[in-house]
Amino acid sequence: MPAKKELASMILKNKDLALDILGIKPFLLFNYKLSNLTRTQQQIFSHALYGSGGRESFLKSLDGQKLGDKKVVIPLGSSEELKDFFRTWNLSYEIRRIWM
């Protein structure tokens, strides 16, 4: 048993090193709502966020990914840009910090 406690203590003390070894990095999961936009505005928003017609998406420029309906994940360091983008569209959103 002491070996497990010792290992757990070492991991907690060297959390960043342990996360690097495991290849785990912090991300933010955004869940946004489009209820205040018209259908046309929703389509324009979608094209801006995800790209359309060969144009690079805003999400891709942040190294982000779509996870599902109205859910995207981005690296922790890109959060302000995405928040500003959502504010521009007057969207409400929820954020959760995740590790991947």
The predicted-structure confidence for 42-69, as pLDDT tens digits, reads as follows 999 999 999 988 888 999 999 999 999 9
Read off the amino acid at residue 73.
V
- Report the alpha-carbon distance of residue 23 to residue 28 in Å, rounded: 16
Considering the entire predicted model, what is its pTM? 0.77
Nearest to 50 by CA among 23, 29, 68: 68
64 burial (CB, 10 Å; 0-12 / 13-18 / 19+) is buried
* pLDDT means over runs of 10, the chain (100 residues): 67 67 86 97 95 89 95 94 96 94
Q: What is the CATH number that goes with domain 24-99?
A: 3.30.70
So what's the pLDDT on residue 16? 67
Contact at 8 Å (CB) between 11 and 18? yes
At a CB cut-off of 8 Å and minimum separation 6, what does 36 contact? 90, 91, 92
